[in-house]
Amino acid sequence: MKVQLTYHDNESLTVEEVVATAVHNYGKSVRVEVMPESTIAYDLIYFGLQRLMTHQQLSMLYDRGSDYQSEVRKLRQETIYNVTELIDQVIIDNESRVG
């Protein structure tokens, strides 16, 4: 019997955590798709940024030997740089489609 289950997980921090919970609850044959809350652009962007940043941020949090605030600033700058690259690419792509 195939059962489809959809729910919103507001507790897990990573996709891997969601998958591990599903495997624990439903067995190794479980199929898990983790998606943003909706297809609204801001939800997609938030989900993408969360996927890009969370693992690194968690590593920083648990590695108390480093200067967390400084490391977070660096992560933020790197992420902004990468997002800026994507924005530039979208602009270029849009211009090439119009022109």
Do 60 and 90 have their domain in common?
yes
Q: At what angle do helices 68-98 and 41-62 cross, to 10 degrees?
A: 150
In the chain, % of residues over pLDDT 70:
98
Residue 46 has pLDDT above 90, yes or no: yes
- Spatial distance between the Cα atoms of 44 and 48, rounded to a whole number of angstroms: 6
Do 92 and 45 have their domain in common?
yes
- Spatial distance between the Cα atoms of 96 and 10, rounded to a whole number of angstroms: 40
pLDDT score recorded for residue 70:
92
Residue 33 has pLDDT above 90, yes or no: yes
Name the token pair of 29.
Answer: 């044959």
Q: Provide the residue type at 57 as one letter.
A: Q
- How many structural domains are present in the chain? 2
Do 86 and 48 have their domain in common?
yes
Do 94 and 66 have their domain in common?
yes
Residue 20 has pLDDT above 70, yes or no: yes
Q: What residues make up the domain containing 1? A: 1-34
